[in-house]
A = this chain, B = another copy of it.
Amino acid sequence: MEYKFSNRALSAKPSRIREISARGAVDPEFISFAIGNPASETFPIEDIRKCNDMIYDKAANYALQYGPSIGDAEFRKLLMQRLVEKEGIAAEGNDILITTGSQQGLTIMPMTVTNEGDVVLVEQYTYMGALSCMRGMCAVPYGVKVDETGSIDVAALEEACKTVKNIRYLYLIPNFQNPMGVTMPLEKRKKVYELACKYDFLIYEDNPYGELRYDGEPVPSFKSFDTEGRVVYAGSFSKVLAAGLRLGFLCASNELIAKMTALKGNIDSGSSVQASLIARYYMEQGLLDPHIEETRKLYAKKKNAMVNGLDKYMSSKCSRTNPEGGMFLWVTLPEDADADAVFDAALENHIGVIPSSCFAPDEDKPGKSFRLCFATPTLEQIEIGCKRFGDVTKKFFGE
Interface residues of A (CB under 8 A from B): 1, 3-9, 12-15, 37-38, 40, 43, 45, 48-49, 52, 56, 60-67, 99-101, 103-104, 106-107, 110-116, 118, 129, 132-133, 136, 138, 168, 200, 202, 228-230, 238, 242-246, 255-256, 259, 262-263, 265-275
Contact = CB atoms under 8 A, between A and B. Distances in A.
A268 B246 contact: yes
- Copies per complex of this chain: 2
A263 B43 contact: no
Nearest to A99: B268
18 contacts: A3-B256, A6-B110, A6-B112, A7-B115, A9-B112, A9-B113, A12-B263, A15-B265, A43-B64, A45-B56, A48-B56, A48-B60, A64-B242, A65-B243, A99-B268, A101-B268, A111-B136, A129-B265
A268 B15 contact: no
Counting chain B CB atoms within 10 Å of each CB, the highest count among A113, A129, A244 belongs to: A244
Contact of A104 (B115, B243, B268): B268
A209 to B, nearest CB: 15
B64 A259 contact: no
Given A262-B12, A266-B133, A66 B244 contact: yes
A51 to B, nearest CB: 11
A258 to B, nearest CB: 9
A294 to B, nearest CB: 15
